[in-house]
A and B are shown apart, each in its own frame.
Chain A
Amino acid sequence: MSDVLLRVTNLSKRFGGFVALENVALDVAAGERLGLIGPNGSGKTTLINCISGALLNDEGTIVFEGRDITRLPPYRRARLGVARSFQIPKPFASMTVLENLRVPLEYAARARVERRRVADEAMRVLELVGLKERANEQSAGLTQVDMRKLELARALAAKPRLLISDEAMAGLSGSEVDEVLPILFKLNQSGITIIMIEHIMQAVMRFSQRVVCLDAGRIICEGAPDQIVRDPGVQRAYLGA
């Protein structure tokens, strides 16, 4: 776990006068399971928007596999192996579930997947997340849980090295969380580094090897999960105590 896959240094992002992220530094090792927590508005989504390229950071650099990707457009980052799921599912609503996966397979993973194997690959990913039976359904008609699984599946179809899961489990019931969490474990075992953003503490704590806590745009604490929950700064950020 020594190789650094992603290195974020001095990252700052402002929206007008509002400082969303200030001087954030973060190293993610290859194969790591990292939890990213923090109260609402602390900058978690902004941080991963900067990493995935949806937003450009004002200061700082982002290095992925030894390559500076700070100014690359999102599609180039996706091709290099940075994939993300969205907090609010954004399926390609006019397509079937299977077609949804064809897009990343044919674009982001184009160099890594043979053309004639695209459909097989898509089915393999759908099987992994448990959506195989829904392959030919319209994605717009899926239930919430299935929509979240599709988010994950589509990110996976990009054949990522790094998967950023933005609240993949928000709004899911306990048993549904138990469906999604093993999928993420399985992915990690297959060699994918995972950054998990989650509000469901029990899920983050179970999943992460290391947890980073953001508050008001700064990293206030990082460490092993049991260490984090005892940290007074984290308790203050969450409970205001």
Chain B
Amino acid sequence: MKPAVFWSSLVAALIAGLVFTEVGQNDYYFNAAYVVLQALIMAVAWNILGGFTGYVNFGSAGFFAVGAYTTIALNKAFGLPLPLLIAAAALVCGLIGLGVGYLTLRLKGVYFAIATLAMAIVIETLVNNWAYVGGAKGSYMLTPETHLWFDSYIKMLFMVMLALALASVAVSRALSSSRLGRGLAAIRDDEVAAECSGVPTLRLKLVSTTVMGAMMGVAGAPYPFFVTFVDPVSAFNLFIAVNSIAMPMIGGTAHWSGPVLGALLVGTAQELITVTISSELNVLLVGIMLVLFITLAPQGIVGLARKYLGRRLR
């Protein structure tokens, strides 16, 4: 995609979002869109490590939850405004990404995946025992009364999430087409050969885990204001981790647009099924789609598009 086309689509999406907040009446649509956008950021973030670098992370929910709990803790302690809370969550989760990366990146393949899952469980246990943020009982948040020029708080939150999602897509695209992105792809393809080609593999992998962690933290930071009640079970929900793996897989992991397409498709389908049939069927849907894509189109939607439309997607 040409840079001009890319940037104008981002601006168009932002404007469309603003128009939507003016004309949209039913708050449900903003709720639903928020959920899809949150999943989109998570998918884009997962793909930086999982797709570009080739390290499968099962602990996404851990980063997400730390983002949410950073908001809870800092809001309770200092009552910071939302943008600062988001920045703080990015910082905290980025540092956790760096630390976890340093501890686990000597592991490969399935061992790395299990280590990230273990990390999420360790953090969940810590939060369960941290009374200040509610421990296992959970914690209530009051919806702030200010919502800028928007009619309702959810509309503002939706716009915040839209801006964050677009920013994460921009970061992911910039990363994938840069020298850094080629270094990450080299690591994914063959780590030893990458190192012998002069790629500082450890440093690049740490950059990758840090950016991933920070982005997931950003996705989680506004969550307490969205749901108004957070407990460890909901914040560390394995479904968050499964979604962040399934969406890039279904969309295609090799290209930055894969997780975006996957998140929009799967996320929207989940919302539709939740309101029309049942919320339980969601999980089944993700499972079936994942199985179908992995067996029939392992390169995801992007792979299918490349196969049938040539290589124009680049």
Interface residues of A (CB under 8 A from B): 52-54, 73-75, 78-79, 83-84, 86, 90-95, 99, 102-104, 106-110, 154, 157-158
In-complex Cβ contact of B199 among A75, A86, A94, A95 (8 A): A75
Interface residues of B (CB under 8 A from A): 179, 182-183, 185-186, 188-190, 192-202, 254
Contact assessment for B193 and A90 in the assembled complex, using a CB-CB cutoff below 8 Å: yes
Instruction: Tell me the bound Cα distance from A78 to B198 in angstroms.
Output: 5
Which 8 A-B pairs rank lowest in CB-CB distance, beginning with the nearest?
A108-B198, A107-B198, A78-B198, A92-B189, A104-B197, A90-B193, A74-B195, A90-B190
Contact assessment for A109 and B198 in the assembled complex, using a CB-CB cutoff below 8 Å: yes
Contact assessment for B192 and A103 in the assembled complex, using a CB-CB cutoff below 8 Å: no
Contact assessment for B198 and A79 in the assembled complex, using a CB-CB cutoff below 8 Å: yes
Which residues on the B side are within 8 Å of A102 (C-beta)?
A: 182
29 A-B contact pairs sorted by A residue (CB < 8 Å): A53-B196, A54-B195, A73-B200, A74-B192, A75-B195, A75-B196, A75-B200, A75-B201, A78-B195, A78-B197, A78-B198, A79-B198, A86-B192, A90-B190, A90-B192, A92-B194, A94-B188, A95-B182, A102-B182, A103-B183, A103-B186, A103-B197, A104-B198, A107-B179, A107-B197, A107-B200, A108-B197, A154-B193, A158-B197
Instruction: Tell me the bound Cα distance from A110 to B195 in angstroms.
Output: 14
Which residues on the B side are within 8 Å of A99 (C-beta)?
A: 182
Which residues on the B side are within 8 Å of A93 (C-beta)?
A: 189-190
Instruction: Tell me the bound Cα distance from A54 to B193 in angstroms.
Output: 10
Which residues on the A side are within 8 Å of B198 (C-beta)?
A: 75, 78-79, 103-104, 107-110, 158
CB distance from B122 to the nearest CB of A (A): 29
CB distance from A51 to the nearest CB of B (A): 11
Contact assessment for B195 and A73 in the assembled complex, using a CB-CB cutoff below 8 Å: yes
Which residues on the B side are within 8 Å of A109 (C-beta)?
A: 198
CB distance from A111 to the nearest CB of B (A): 10
CB distance from B278 to the nearest CB of A (A): 40
Which residues on the A side are within 8 Å of B194 (C-beta)?
A: 92, 103
Contact assessment for A154 and B197 in the assembled complex, using a CB-CB cutoff below 8 Å: yes
In-complex Cβ contact of A54 among B185, B192, B197, B202 (8 A): B192
Contact assessment for B196 and A78 in the assembled complex, using a CB-CB cutoff below 8 Å: yes
Which residues on the A side are within 8 Å of B196 (C-beta)?
A: 52-54, 74-75, 78, 83-84, 86
CB distance from A218 to the nearest CB of B (A): 26
CB distance from A115 to the nearest CB of B (A): 9
Which residues on the B side are within 8 Å of A78 (C-beta)?
A: 195-198
CB distance from B131 to the nearest CB of A (A): 45
CB distance from B161 to the nearest CB of A (A): 31
Contact assessment for B182 and A106 in the assembled complex, using a CB-CB cutoff below 8 Å: yes
Q: Using A54-B192, A86-B193, A103-B194 as known contacts, say yes or no to A92 and B185 having CB atoms under 8 A apart.
A: yes
- Which of B182, B186, B194, B196 has the most A CB atoms < 10 Å from its CB? B196
Which residues on the B side are within 8 Å of A95 (C-beta)?
A: 182, 185-186, 189
Which residues on the A side are within 8 Å of B183 (C-beta)?
A: 103, 106-107
Which residues on the B side are within 8 Å of A83 (C-beta)?
A: 196
Which residues on the A side are within 8 Å of B199 (C-beta)?
A: 75, 103, 107
Contact assessment for B195 and A92 in the assembled complex, using a CB-CB cutoff below 8 Å: no
Which residues on the B side are within 8 Å of A79 (C-beta)?
A: 198
In-complex Cβ contact of A92 among B190, B200, B254 (8 A): B190
Which residues on the B side are within 8 Å of A74 (C-beta)?
A: 192, 195-196
Contact assessment for B186 and A92 in the assembled complex, using a CB-CB cutoff below 8 Å: yes
Instruction: Tell me the bound Cα distance from A157 to B196 in angstroms.
Output: 11
Q: Which residue of B lies closest to A111 (CB)?
A: B198
Instruction: Tell me the bound Cα distance from A104 to B194 in angstroms.
Output: 8
Which residues on the A side are within 8 Å of B195 (C-beta)?
A: 53-54, 73-75, 78
Contact assessment for B197 and A94 in the assembled complex, using a CB-CB cutoff below 8 Å: no
- Which of A90, A110, A154 has the most B CB atoms < 10 Å from its CB? A90
- Which of A52, A75, A79, A157 has the most B CB atoms < 10 Å from its CB? A75
Instruction: Tell me the bound Cα distance from A214 to B186 in angstroms.
Output: 33
Q: Which residue of B lies closest to A79 (CB)?
A: B198
Q: Which residue of B lies closest to A96 (CB)?
A: B311
Contact assessment for A103 and B182 in the assembled complex, using a CB-CB cutoff below 8 Å: yes
Instruction: Tell me the bound Cα distance from A157 to B183 in angstroms.
Output: 15
Q: Which residue of A lies closest to B198 (CB)?
A: A108
Which residues on the A side are within 8 Å of B190 (C-beta)?
A: 90-93
Contact assessment for B189 and A94 in the assembled complex, using a CB-CB cutoff below 8 Å: yes
Which residues on the B side are within 8 Å of A94 (C-beta)?
A: 185, 188-189, 254
Instruction: Tell me the bound Cα distance from A86 to B179 in angstroms.
Output: 23
CB distance from B204 to the nearest CB of A (A): 10
Which residues on the A side are within 8 Å of B192 (C-beta)?
A: 54, 74, 86, 90
Which residues on the B side are within 8 Å of A54 (C-beta)?
A: 192, 195-196
- Which of B179, B188, B201 has the most A CB atoms < 10 Å from its CB? B179
Instruction: Tell me the bound Cα distance from A25 to B193 in angstroms.
Output: 26
